[in-house]
Amino acid sequence: MADYSHAENLADAAQLAEMLRAIYECPKPTVARIQGDVYAGGMGLVAACDIAVSVDMAQYCLSEVKLGLIPATISPYVIRAMGTRGAPLFFDG
């Protein structure tokens, strides 16, 4: 994605947003089964699901924050899943 043009990055973000919205609004229950580490957009995927079941050793990271980028596309789902009180601690990088 680093080599994408501005338009390509916008289109990619729009596709991710549409996928997350479809999962979040799915009329049937959605379940995330986490068997390994979850980074960046994967966090949004997990957060958009109704239920998340994770192995104990899984690590979660909003890696874009470490680069100074805002995870804007996934933030609404992550904040909803974590609650507004817990989210600032996670977004602190």
Task: Report the catalytic residues.
Answer: 64
Residue 93 token pair = 């990088």
* CA 89/CA 39 separation, integer angstroms: 16
* CA 40/CA 54 separation, integer angstroms: 16
Closest to 91 measured CA to CA, from 31, 47, 51: 47
